[in-house]
Amino acid sequence: MTTSLTEDNFDTAIAKAPGTHVIRFWAGWCRPCSMILPIFTDVANQLKSVAHFAEVDIDAQPRLAARFGIRSIPTIVVVKDGQVVDSHTGLADKSRLSQLVMRHLV
């Protein structure tokens, strides 16, 4: 299960929350975003005990997308203890996405 992020809940859910957070930036019209969704969901279910997974619809939350400098989607951003520590733009398989998260859990 992932959290839908908005400007209203972002600071509480991510910026001021300790731990590792994985955010998927997407849009409904984006075909690659639809293609990565089941992979993102699978990784979220696999790693939900060690990381928090969330999503930002860039059409509904353009200021959040701008805050992260999102220029292409899908983009996955890893935030640890309030700081961006990694990101990936474009499609990724389950192994690559899992590795992106796992390297920031220690």
Contact status, residue 26 vs residue 57, Cβ threshold 8 Å: yes
Closest CA to 56 of 45, 40, 39, 43: 40
Q: Which residues pair with 55 in a beta bridge?
A: 4, 24
Q: Is 83 a catalytic residue?
A: no
Which of 5, 14, 23, 33 is the catalytic position? 33
Which of 30, 37, 60, 102 is the catalytic position? 30
Q: Is 30 a catalytic residue?
A: yes
Rounded Cα distance, 23 and 70, in Å: 12
Residues marked active site are found at: 30, 33
